[in-house]
Chain A
Amino acid sequence: MATIAPGVKTGPYHAVLDHIHPEPTSFIRKYIFSIDHKVIGIQYMITGGLFFLIAGMLAEVIRYTLLQPQGQMGISAATYNGVYSMHGSAMVWLVIIPLVTGAFGNFVMPLQIGARDVAFPWLNLLAFWMFPVAGVILFSSFLIGAPDAGWTEYPPISVQGPPGTTLWCIAIFLIGVSSTLTGINFIVTIYKMRAPGMTLTRMPLFVWAQFATAGLSFIATTALAAALLALFCERVFNVPFYDPSRGGSPVLWQHMFWFYSHPAVYIMILPAFGIVSEVLPTFSRKPIFGYKMIAFSTVAIALLGFSVWAHHMFTSGMVPWLQLPFMIITMLIAIPTGVKIFSWVATLWGGSIRWTTPMLFATGFLITFTLGGLTGFFLAAVPADYHEHGTYFVVAHFHYVLYGGSVMGLFAGFYYWWPKMTGRMYNEAMGQWHFWITFVAFNCTFMPMHWLGLMGMPRRVPIYDPAAWYVFWNQFASISSFVLAASMLLFAYNFWSSFRSGKIAGPNPWGARTLEWMISSPAPYYNFKKIPAVLATPYDFGNPLPYLGLEAAEGATEATPTHSSHPVPTY
């Protein structure tokens, strides 16, 4: 039992927290098979970034094909099927899910709760290494015939699909195991390893988001594992589960798949919510509005998320009397989501806002995510969905929530925590250019898909109506998507040059108040010299920092704003 400040002792489990593993010295143990959560987090980022590059190039192949209504020479319909299936699968399972949980969850969450590592560092190592292996398996399916039934791989097409579909099953299964293990690890970490005094309602909101996400991962992902196992057996051993001609049911797959994949969309978005909830108060220099409402709505979304999966199946021949409840519960989710959006907007209200790059991305997130939520509402309305299902309207919807939501949130997080990861600042002007190009090009790429879809353009088809109107909007979207891709060069160059010669950031360049900013940058191996005690939520700008016994890095004890003036709260 250590005394960490006059008269303040740590609780029993902080003896465990206080234990420091000896720092490894060999290159392999330090950077390749490290058990340090920060290294593992960065490994996830690098691997996920590489997969993002590949999956992004596949997206550009899709947009290139659609430049002309008759498709392109050299891209057969079969190739096209493989390309969009792999694009979707890779983006969901190899990019967004590992980045929002594995990368940011690992790097940031233990720092924010004042821990030295996650609960099971070796499990973390294992879970990480399943990820690149899964990626290699998934992409190698191109060599033997890529899966061609879309990222949702509906039977019976997927049962009869090319040999690569079997590899797809294996890869997604593996990444599912990895994400389950990470979920378990994070729950135990957050539940058991918070610094003394950090009660549940004093946790940073990003930690709340990771907590809810981890719950979703470890419950829902095994349902996907079951669906995949059955598909695998059906393809390899001819075991009838899904084939209707043998007493199976394709709709069964849809139930099992969406029982996972609807929660999975929250796995992809909740951590982005968490990132935004950190960035907005920091750059508004104002306490977050409605801390508890945001935290509880996160949990509410996660729980409700388990009971809406069949809104993906309104046109699949499910029993009609189930449609109404699924529609209503889906629409109910808009309530906790709206609570969050209003709380974020209220956080901005009257703050002294600094338009840094992470702040721009977080605000951009607010706009695009809200638009995506609105189209979700239209899709949830059964009669409207009959018209919209299977069209580009759905594609527009989920790119607004996934690119405009998850990926923009990820960008905000990258820029925000980059100084903590490397100890250096990125180039602010270049970052802001990156934001504006991304924001404009994103909207130009995906906005037209709304009306293309409403006019009936089906998704997943390489040819379309040659009327001038369709050609114009498709070319408009394609060219914008090329700009969107090009903006990534700016992003990559910015981080490359910052890594080599960026300005030294110091421990707390943003004047933020969560624990990770109280230690030097890059964070030392052991994170905290002493485990601090926590006295309040981290967001009360204007009050003294709520930490005790923090042996802070030079200059980090005060949250000194880089801009002047403290905000006058207006609520």
Chain B
Amino acid sequence: MSVSIAKQGYQLGHGHDDHDHEQVIYQETRDMRLLGFVLFLCSDVVLFSSFIFAYIYLRTTVAPIWPPMIDGHQLPRLDTAFAAVNSVVLFGSGVTMHYALENWKHGTRAMYNLFMGLTILLGAMFLGGQAYEYAHAQIGGWSGNTFGASFFTLTGMHGFHVFVGVVFLAVLWWQSSRGVYDHERYFGLTAGTLYWHFVDVIWVALFFLFYLW
């Protein structure tokens, strides 16, 4: 048998005998979860892409002019300056999230707590900013016209993701204070960070599509 194994170029075992068995199980389980989580984010990207497609389609092939006309008036553009400030808040939270994870890895707990707290705070501020913007947008509401429909649906979906993210991070923070993670095993924090960056990246696209275009 061993001859035919060699013939097949067959190689089992990867020389990890020195590794602790339990550590291997942890790593493999983590890698599987990570892959699953990334796949989930990919399918989430398709959800946003589909609505972005809808927006582009309605704007470029259906509407004669953009922003559309309602009752003989053209709707105003959105307030880019305010949204830019709000974007900086969200991107800033991406930076603090990065440092939170790094500090966790290096075991600097106090800094971790600071950055994690900042991230959650900035996330909440972004949501507040968005609420303010919703209250002041003069584009005829969610169900008024296709501009409002695309804008409120897409940013609303994004805002919902941010909201889930804030809750997610709060839970992670609580878990890490309870000793669920240590400095070598912190899959939850990795997933949270990935998710948070994902939400950031989606916002880049939305900011470009709604405020700069």
Contacts and interface: CB of A to CB of B under 8 A. Distances in A.
27 contacts: A4-B12, A9-B13, A11-B14, A12-B19, A13-B28, A183-B43, A187-B39, A188-B35, A188-B39, A191-B35, A196-B12, A222-B44, A222-B46, A222-B47, A223-B47, A226-B51, A230-B153, A237-B142, A240-B145, A246-B145, A247-B68, A247-B145, A249-B62, A252-B57, A255-B57, A535-B8, A536-B8
B135 to A, nearest CB: 18
Instruction: Sort chain A's interface into a size bin.
Output: 35 or more
Contacts of B8: 535-536
Given A8-B13, A188-B36, A533-B12, A248 B143 contact: no
B146 A247 contact: yes
Contact of A247 (B2, B14, B63): B63
Interface centre among B16, B39, B44, B153 (most CB of A within 10 A): B39
Nearest to B57: A252
A420 B43 CA distance: 34
Contacts of A233: 149, 153
A8 B58 contact: no
A196 B13 CA distance: 8
Contacts of B19: 12
Nearest to A221: B43
Interface string B15-43: 01101010011011101100110011011
* Main SS at interface, chain B: helix
A180 B57 contact: no
A7 B153 CA distance: 60
Nearest to B13: A9
A197 B12 contact: yes
A240 B10 CA distance: 60
Contact of B39 (A13, A184, A227, A255): A184
Contact of A120 (B5, B14, B36): B36
Contact of A226 (B17, B28, B47): B47
A19 interface: yes
Contacts of B54: 226, 230, 241, 252, 256
A40 interface: no
Given A15-B24, A223-B50, A230-B153, A239 B142 contact: yes
B43 A180 contact: yes
Interface residues of B, number: 49
B28 A239 contact: no
B43 A9 contact: no
Contacts of A15: 21, 24-25, 28
Contacts of B146: 240-241, 246-248
Given A1-B17, A10-B12, A225-B47, 6 more contacts: A1-B21, A184-B40, A188-B35, A226-B51, A256-B53, A535-B5
A11 B15 CA distance: 8
Interface string A172-194: 00000000100111011001110
Interface of B: 1-2, 4-5, 8, 10, 12-14, 16-17, 19, 21, 24-25, 27-29, 31-32, 35-36, 39-40, 42-44, 46-47, 49-51, 53-54, 57-58, 61-63, 68, 142-146, 148-149, 152-153
A102 to B, nearest CB: 17
B28 to A, nearest CB: 4
Contacts of A13: 24, 28, 31
A191 B47 CA distance: 24
Contacts of A259: 50
Contacts of B61: 249
Closest 8 A/B residue pairs (Cβ): A9-B13, A226-B50, A222-B46, A13-B28, A247-B146, A222-B47, A238-B143, A184-B39
Contact of A12 (B24, B36, B46): B24
A219 B46 contact: yes
A312 B6 CA distance: 52
A239 B146 CA distance: 8
A13 to B, nearest CB: 4
A248 B62 contact: yes
A398 to B, nearest CB: 24
Interface string A541-559: 0000000100000000000
A248 B12 contact: no
Contacts of A237: 142-143
A259 B24 CA distance: 41
A16 interface: yes
A119 interface: yes
A510 interface: no
Interface centre among B16, B50, B51 (most CB of A within 10 A): B50
Nearest to A318: B61
A241 B144 CA distance: 11
Interface string A3-29: 011111111110110010000000000
